[in-house]
Chain A
Amino acid sequence: MSAVQLEIQAIAVLAALACALPGVFLVLRRMSLMSDAISHSILLGIVLAFFVTRTIQSPLLIVGAALTGVATVWLVEVLTHTRLVREDAAIGLVFPVLFSIAVILISRLPSGVHLDGDVVLLGELAFAPYERWFAFGWDLGPKSMWMMSIVLLLNTAFVVSFFKELKVATFDPGLAAAIGISPVVVHYALMSVVSVTAVAAFDAVGAVLVVALMIAPPSTAYLLTDRLRTMLVLSAAASAVSAVAGFWVAHWLDASIAGSMATAAGVLFAIALLFAPERGLIAAARLRERQRWEFAHTMLAIHLFNHEGSPDAEQESGIDHLGDSLRWDGGFRERVVAGASRRGLIERSGEFLRLTDAGRDLARRAVVG
């Protein structure tokens, strides 16, 4: 592994971690698509700041871009508050407009300026190590690595120091307001963090990957846990794995690193979707299947229990009769009877069934509740 490869992976992991932290709260607060809106409209901030400073190296670009991100959030809110359009439509109106203005402004720029809509959208991680920082003749490493480290540090500090506020405002905004945590302040603080992260990450990984890294790892983690702390740790882990896996897939296929990272994040989500211990599709299907049999066993026990000791007990406990009284057809009936005897709920003698003590107990409990 060369030094450049190592640096690319470091930048990718740093960016992924920085995105995953605020992403967790976006997913939980049902604002995932704000990341999409913000990461597109920051282009306008970059272009406007460029018109002021006439260079794309200025830190003012970052400030301008982060401000447009927050402005996007504000515009969406203003539009929604008019009650003329709903929030989803407001998002769908605001960011394309800001993005369009930016693209048109760029098209008016003299050619030769390295500022392009698709660069912002897609990023180019492979070039990131070649923009380096030097101080007193020392090579301090790639600029993006520093930038992403700082942002990751800021985001971690934000989440750690305002953990309680974020948690309450996310899960119970009413309670938050009642105990003096302003949901509005939390909202805008989070959106500022998202904006700054998107700005810092876009020129390394591109706006679309910012969206992928903010939404996919937290969604994966959300399927695996019910605890906020665990969710933060899991999504950080998922994002780091996506970053490294994405890099090597891209290396192997000679394809876009950003695209491969997004794909890796998607694959991780698919794995969690299928195999998550409680909420995975397979676990859910198995649970449904088990409940189906348990329900049938209980029904059988209740049926036998109801007729126990009555004159028609013998007739009602015949296996064939179950088809009439419980509407179970042949194969299913046999499997229910087999399963129930295996569980020791009933005993089978010839064509007739008898409840065991355990079966009687189950029926009694099921009926009484």
Chain B
Amino acid sequence: MLDWLSDYTLRTVALGAATIGIVSGVLGSFAVLRRQSLLGDAISHAALPGIAIAFIITGSKSLPVLVLGAAIAGWIGALLALRLSNVTRLKQDATLGLVLSVFFGFGLMLLTFVQRRPDATQAGLDKFLFGQAAALLQRDVIAMAVTGGVALLLIVLFWKEFKLLAFDPDFAAAIGFPVRAIDVVLTTLLVVAIVIGLESVGVVLMSALVVAPAAAARQWTDHLGGMVALAALFGAASGIAGAVISARAVNVPTGPTVVLCAASVVAVSLLFAPARGLVFARLRDRRTRRRFGARHVLEHLYALSEQHEDPGHAHATSVLEAMTGRRAGVGADLDALEGQGLAQRSADGEWAITDAGRDRIRRDRQVER
């Protein structure tokens, strides 16, 4: 079961994927809260020309050089997209899309030009597109861990600033925080999170690893600290699971596998998170509806007993159905009321309010007054 721990390659890959998951989960939390989920998509695509230019300048295919180029281009792209939406009438969706597609196209042009091969597939681009975690070396993982560690340290150091920026940037500006500078730092850290995952997860899908763990974590907690920690955990788990599965199966790229693992976490969270999850919300809804329904029926039973000479006179279920205007559920509500001792069923199956039911209504009306 745990034999993969002893496999050197697999261990390296899993550790690398875990690092990527943690860093992108943490930074993604801020991006998602700031409604910048798609900034990650723009950054990862915008990184491509940086890779090409780094290769043209240095002639080297070593990972740190290419990653540095990717980071610079991604950083320029991110700031450009954010800035363009401030200085022009274009909204952020258009500026993100613009930067994403134009930078990527430019990178594609450069890469194919460098390799003198108009056919992009042969230019070895597919690795960058979909990621190949199996190519990770131990020193790559160490470099990723160190870079990611620095990014996380900065998050801890500037926790208060980032928190304020995420929830109330206007207030932050009003009390004198250098909002623009904090924004640039946070965006820079997001760039770091994305470029360290590019090689393993790929350009196309790295953005999902920013969004998914954060969106899942958001469902479980209303505290930023808890959300960030959970997102890191979800990111790491998806990373490890995806890397291990894709390393085990032949010819399955890492990026999609990691994304599907993260998406499963999202699906579970959306459905089953206790406070916000759809399943529990539905159950709560039903319980509330039933409580209100039963109360409604009790009010009508009370009204009937007030109008009748004999307060204990029983009425048919169909009468109550007509009064409440409901077809379904009145019988169930009556059973529930009987269970609480507020209504009673007569021998021929008709219903009347009990003394306890009358007291309940009167007491509640007094309270209302």
B35 close to A88 (CB less than 8 A): yes
**A96 to B215 CA separation, bound complex (whole angstroms):** 14
Is A100 interfacial (CB-CB < 8 Å)?
Answer: yes
Is B158 interfacial (CB-CB < 8 Å)?
Answer: no
Is B229 interfacial (CB-CB < 8 Å)?
Answer: no
Q: Closest residue to B256 on the A side, CB-wise?
A: A100
Q: Closest residue to B108 on the A side, CB-wise?
A: A259
Q: What distance in Å separates the Cβ of A23 from its nearest Cβ neighbour in chain B?
A: 10
Question: Given A122-B125, A215-B98, does the pair A97, B204 have CB atoms closer than 8 Å?
Answer: no
A250 close to B109 (CB less than 8 A): yes
A216 close to B102 (CB less than 8 A): yes
Q: B-facing mask of A210-225, CB < 8 A → 1, else 0?
A: 0110111011001100
Is A3 interfacial (CB-CB < 8 Å)?
Answer: no
B102 close to A91 (CB less than 8 A): no
Is B211 interfacial (CB-CB < 8 Å)?
Answer: yes
B contact residues around A117 at 8 Å (CB) = 126, 129-130, 204
A255 close to B204 (CB less than 8 A): no
**A70 to B232 CA separation, bound complex (whole angstroms):** 33
Number of contact residues on B: which range applies?
Answer: 35 or more
Measured CB to CB, the residues of B under 8 A from A are 32, 35-38, 40-41, 45, 84, 87-91, 93-98, 100-113, 116, 118-121, 125-126, 129-130, 204-205, 207-208, 210-212, 214-215, 218-219, 251-253, 255-257, 259-260, 263, 266, 270, 276, 278
B91 close to A30 (CB less than 8 A): yes
Is A14 interfacial (CB-CB < 8 Å)?
Answer: no
Q: Is the interface of B mostly helix, strand, loop or mixed?
A: helix
Is A273 interfacial (CB-CB < 8 Å)?
Answer: yes
Q: Closest residue to B101 on the A side, CB-wise?
A: A212
**A108 to B249 CA separation, bound complex (whole angstroms):** 10
Question: Given A33-B96, A117-B129, A259-B105, does the pair A279, B116 have CB atoms closer than 8 Å?
Answer: no
Q: What distance in Å separates the Cβ of B269 from its nearest Cβ neighbour in chain A?
A: 8
**A84 to B32 CA separation, bound complex (whole angstroms):** 12
Q: B-facing mask of A339-357, CB < 8 A → 1, else 0?
A: 0000000000000000000
B contact residues around A32 at 8 Å (CB) = 91, 93-94, 96-98
Q: Select B118's contact among A96, A219, A254, A265, beta carbons within 8 Å.
A: A254
Which of B40, B88, B218, B219 has the most chain A CB atoms inside 10 A of its CB? B88
B contact residues around A155 at 8 Å (CB) = none
